[in-house]
A = this chain, B = another copy of it.
Amino acid sequence: MAKNVQDKVIGRICAEAGEVYARIRARKKPQMKLPLRSLANVRYRPQAGHFQLRGKNKIRTLTVNTVKTFAQSLKMLAMSKELIQTHRHSTKREAYYQAYNWGEAAFAEQEESDTVMDDIEAMLATNREQLHFRADEHGGEVAGELIVIDRDRRTKKLIEIDCAKFGSGAYSVPTVVEELEFRTAAKFILAVETKGMFERLVEEDFYDKHRCILVSMGGVPSRACRRFIRLLADRHSLPVYVFTDGDPYGYFNIYRTLKVGSGNAAHLNDFFCVPQARFLGVTPEDIIEYKLPTHPLKQVDIKRAHDAVKNDPFIQHYKPWQQAIEKMLKMGVRVEQQALAKHGLEYVAKEYLPKKLKQAKNFLP
């Protein structure tokens, strides 16, 4: 499968380059076609579960003004092809430094090379990880009923990584997960906000008792973390439950980003959003039901919540989310995952989560 993706991407790179070459041979100005990456070219598709591009394109034709960007785009395509063929990946930063040797086409700033990378990512309708570029970010941690199948760098043989055999530690997800495969008999994926809660659940032996895969997102999930959850959920038809603090940061920055992606990277949502995600908690309801200690909402929380109700197409689409947010605003408080420790450290694993999981159909959409 991994091999197929590589062949497909190399095929697209060669097709783009071939077209440029053909136009030059035909004495026409070479050009590239890029999807417009702006909110004006985006719509929310409830069925697909995320923002999608409307299909408007811009044509970049070779002129005096575009010659540098044009050359950079072609060089970047060539770099990607070489990376794929040599089984290497380059961080965005390394790509910028490698381009130091491009003479006049070198980048002045990393922002320039990042923009060209975004362009070719959109042009090829792929993600930069498939082009063998990666970000310098954590990919989240995993423990539970999952075997990750990767390849040994030395022997080139497949190796199996058993995520239930790490004791108090965990499997650290690499920044590129495109070529991983999985074997699992898990019933669901539980994605948690903090490493603290992740380690709590590992310590309480939660994944064994509930046959699940635990993922620590470490705050807002990175691309690698979202892609990992998406691939795993898709291939093994697993439901994804999300467990964050009960505050606007948890609801929007973490949950909503994981589920529907973001507007200004709509060309990527096909890869990175997790439409099967459902919100387990902590909900404003839970504060009452589980008698949880709270903290007053900050001004920034209140503003974010009002903005979301007014302007966020995802929230506007879901009545239950509007109700939950109104409830939070009325109560005027936020609640943390770890507040459940008021009832004892093991309470979250022995009482709260099992009770919640019995009513998964009531989870917020």
Contacts and interface: CB of A to CB of B under 8 A. Distances in A.
Interface of A: 88-91, 93-95, 97-98, 100-101, 134, 136-138, 141, 148, 150-154, 159, 161, 165-176, 179-180, 194-196, 199-200, 202-203, 205, 208, 218, 293, 336, 338-342, 344-346
A45 B62 CA distance: 65
14 contacts: A88-B345, A91-B199, A91-B200, A91-B338, A94-B341, A97-B339, A100-B293, A138-B218, A148-B167, A150-B168, A161-B165, A168-B174, A171-B171, A175-B199
A171 B166 contact: yes
In the assembly, how many copies of this chain are there?
Answer: 2
A193 to B, nearest CB: 10
B169 A169 contact: no
Contacts of A340: 97
Nearest to A163: B169
A345 B196 CA distance: 36
Nearest to A179: B168
A29 B303 CA distance: 52
Contacts of A208: 153-154
A261 to B, nearest CB: 23
Given A134-B196, A161-B169, A170-B171, 10 more contacts: A88-B203, A91-B338, A94-B200, A97-B341, A148-B169, A153-B203, A161-B165, A167-B180, A169-B174, A175-B199
B141 A172 contact: yes
Given A150-B168, A169-B150, A338 B174 contact: no
Contacts of A141: 172
Contacts of A100: 293, 342
Most central of A97, A180, A218 by chain B CB within 10 Å: A97
A203 B86 CA distance: 11
B345 A94 contact: yes
Contacts of A199: 89, 91, 134, 174-175
A168 B218 CA distance: 20
